[in-house]
Chain A
Amino acid sequence: MGSKTRRWIGPLLAALTTATAPASAKVLFTGYGDFQATPQGAYKIGGPPSVLKNFGLGPETLETRGFAINSLGLFATTALSDRTRLQMDVTYRDIGNSVKTIRIQYAYLEQKAWDATFRAGKITLPFGWYNQNRFYPFQRPSITGPVFQSAILGLPIADIGASAERTFDLGAAALTADVYAVNGYGPSPGSTDTFRSASLPGALTISNNLGSVDANHKVAVGGRLDLSPRGAPESSVGASYYRGEWDPAGQRLLQMAGAHAHGQWAGVEGLAEYLHLSVQGDHGFAANLGSQDWSTDGFFVETDYHGLKPRGRELTPWARYEYTVSRGSGGGGRERLSVAAGGVALRVMDGLIAKAEFDSLSYRLPFAAGDVTLSGYTLTLGLTATF
């Protein structure tokens, strides 16, 4: 590049920058903290000792008590223009002497154009209703989420890619359609032919299979349709779908399908979600379910009541039940999970919620030598602060 050319570039860039830069684009930070205490939890583990020793366990009863800072999250938002926004969530987990886990839950650029909203970056997938509306502890009265979604599937489901959302006015209702393309799930870290390994709930989540780069040469795609009646915009029914090859060769298909219904009437809020997973060619779960091709079907229902305000403070009782079963395509053993939970949340003051929750869980994981079972309960107390 000649010196004369260089002389032009500086003023050119300066002129363009001055003409196009926003007057100010400050970053706004908000956030939350989630503290938990477990006064009592007890789980009975049963099964063949030869199998349990692989998990470092034996047939036994485990008790749990303790305190934890479950998560601290910082949300950064900046509006680059009336129609363009940058948003990011950095969450700190496993907080002890140091922070073991720093996770970017989402980080994307959002642009509104042509009556649609476009997002690019690490986006929370528009799958179901819970994933985008109840993932954070300040979004829900419960301390924990549905066990399958949060402990096995791994919430939030967020991946690197792009999405588009548009709402269509149908007169009596509004239909919101989302489509997206993302890197997609890959194999279990360190493997090329394992999607999910047998483990006790909470030990290994499928979300660990979401990498920073695409696992193969194929892009995963999906979408969601969500229908809300005109007179009740908080209520909706919808269906979601995800499709993508998970193995490095791009040959083995993962599909997820879901349906959801959410509504509120006379202070009672209800949410029901159904989830179907279909996985091909997974060596990891083959020994448990008798086939490399397996599927999961499950649902959860949750009810909250918002009409109580003792001394002007909102008190929200809630209850939830979930059931999930996984099976191989050729018969064989079945993984089963059922959880009943309930509790209350009390808004102590603006920005502070106190919670109490009781969970009762029953889990069965088949092995050739016999089934491993886990059953028990946990009483948890929590405080969620927002700022």
Chain B
Amino acid sequence: MKRLAALTLLLVCAAAPRAGAAPARRVALVVAGDAGARSPLFDAVSRGLAGRDAVTRFVLRPDEDADPIAKGRLLADLQERDLIVPVGDAASRFVTDELGGTPIFFVGAGVVAGESLRERATGGVFSFSVSALLDAAKALKLRRLGVAYTPGYEPILDLIRTGAAARGLRVTGRRIAAPKELGPAARDLLDREQAVWVLGDPLLARGAGFEYLRERSLSRAVPLISTDPGAVARGALLGYEPPQGALAAVAVAGVSRRLDRRASSPGERLQSAPAGGTVLVNAVLARKWGLPPGPEPGWRRVR
């Protein structure tokens, strides 16, 4: 009996340091393969996280869906981490689609499914700046803004409302919960507002949904503001490219708060990119619609 008690005590003491000590936090930094080779943002975030915790870098192949065995291994490795930090749109989309419910902090994504944002475990900093785009709208004298958003984007809508109020702009939000609601919502916003801000759910920001909004926008001469910088070349009037260094700094601070479990409210979970980047303007559309001449300092025309 005494021998058993001694053995028990020995085994519990052997296990106790592992149970009581704070385990090293393991962070997965993920970037898409086509961007990985030339991603200043990924490099900046990587440098910012260096020296703290255990950071492992993963580069996604362009055809990650092609091999389910390799994909399963990758997802199993990612899921093991305390926090997954996808950098850029492609990596963020892959991680949020495949690993919902796992702690994720995306960096520099403009298009993220709203359903993913509703998960408490998901947070991040977007690639667009609410303040910079509101300033651009104001400079173009677009004072009545409609915001098309999907469930999950409510915190961003709140940021837009707060920023718009401070600038004397009026914002009307229209929630789109299903594809069938897109048509009526688009008609409603484009009929009444001077510009429509399309928040970055793939339903609205990509594919057939964005094509529909663009066509309606062109026919009504009502500009679109997009969270996806690539959309400016595809028919949106305004977009935004964030300053990489400042974005990386915000991201590193956000990752630290997440690891320390200090960010819990939706407003803290989801952040807008810092101002000071480049506002993208579709020069053809601006000229076509007779918008005030520009550009402002820090703007870039896209044709």
Collect the chain A residues with CB atoms within 8 Å of residue B53's CB: none
A15 touching B12, Cβ below 8 Å:
yes
Does A265 interact with chain B (Cβ within 8 Å)? Answer: no
Interface of A, helix, strand, loop or mixed by DSSP: mixed
Q: A107 → chain B, closest Cβ, in Å?
A: 13
* Residue in chain B with minimal CB distance to A83: B80
Does A114 interact with chain B (Cβ within 8 Å)? Answer: no
Collect the chain A residues with CB atoms within 8 Å of residue B8's CB: 8, 11-12
Known: A77-B75, A79-B79, A85-B73. A387 touches B15 (CB 8 A): no
Q: A132 → chain B, closest Cβ, in Å?
A: 10
Does A115 interact with chain B (Cβ within 8 Å)? Answer: no
A12 touching B12, Cβ below 8 Å:
yes
Beyond A8-B8, A31-B68, 13 additional contacts (C-beta under 8 Å) are A15-B11, A15-B12, A22-B80, A26-B79, A75-B68, A75-B72, A76-B72, A77-B75, A136-B69, A138-B66, A138-B68, A351-B65, A351-B66
Distance A73 CA – B19 CA, assembled complex (angstroms):
39
User: Can you identify 22 A-B contacts, CB atoms within 8 angstroms?
Assistant: A5-B1, A8-B5, A12-B12, A15-B15, A15-B19, A16-B11, A28-B76, A28-B79, A29-B72, A30-B68, A73-B68, A77-B72, A77-B75, A79-B76, A79-B77, A82-B80, A87-B73, A89-B69, A138-B68, A353-B66, A386-B65, A387-B68
Collect the chain A residues with CB atoms within 8 Å of residue B65's CB: 350-351, 386-387
Kindly state the interface size class of chain A when it binds its partner: 35 or more
Known: A5-B4, A78-B76, A82-B80. A12 touches B69 (CB 8 A): no
Q: A33 → chain B, closest Cβ, in Å?
A: 10
Does A19 interact with chain B (Cβ within 8 Å)? Answer: yes
Q: B45 → chain A, closest Cβ, in Å?
A: 21
Q: Mark A335-349, 1 if CB is under 8 A from B, else 0.
A: 000000000000100
Option from B16, B68, B80 in Cβ contact (under 8 Å) with A386:
B68
Q: A319 → chain B, closest Cβ, in Å?
A: 21
Q: A131 → chain B, closest Cβ, in Å?
A: 14
Q: Mark A18-44, 1 if CB is under 8 A from B, else 0.
A: 111010101011111000000000000
Q: A227 → chain B, closest Cβ, in Å?
A: 22
Collect the chain A residues with CB atoms within 8 Å of residue B66's CB: 138, 347, 350-351, 353, 386
Q: Mark B44-59, 1 if CB is under 8 A from A, else 0.
A: 0000000000000000
Does B301 interact with chain A (Cβ within 8 Å)? Answer: no
**Which parts of B1-54 form the interface with A (CB within 8 Å)?**
1, 4-5, 8, 11-12, 15-16, 18-19, 26
Distance A240 CA – B97 CA, assembled complex (angstroms):
40
B68 touching A32, Cβ below 8 Å:
yes
**Which parts of A223-246 form the interface with B (CB within 8 Å)?**
none
Does A81 interact with chain B (Cβ within 8 Å)? Answer: yes
Distance A76 CA – B77 CA, assembled complex (angstroms):
13
Q: Mark B72-114, 1 if CB is under 8 A from A, else 0.
A: 1101110110000000000000000000000000000000000
Distance A258 CA – B33 CA, assembled complex (angstroms):
34
A81 touching B12, Cβ below 8 Å:
no
Q: B231 → chain A, closest Cβ, in Å?
A: 19
Collect the chain A residues with CB atoms within 8 Å of residue B15's CB: 15-16, 18-20
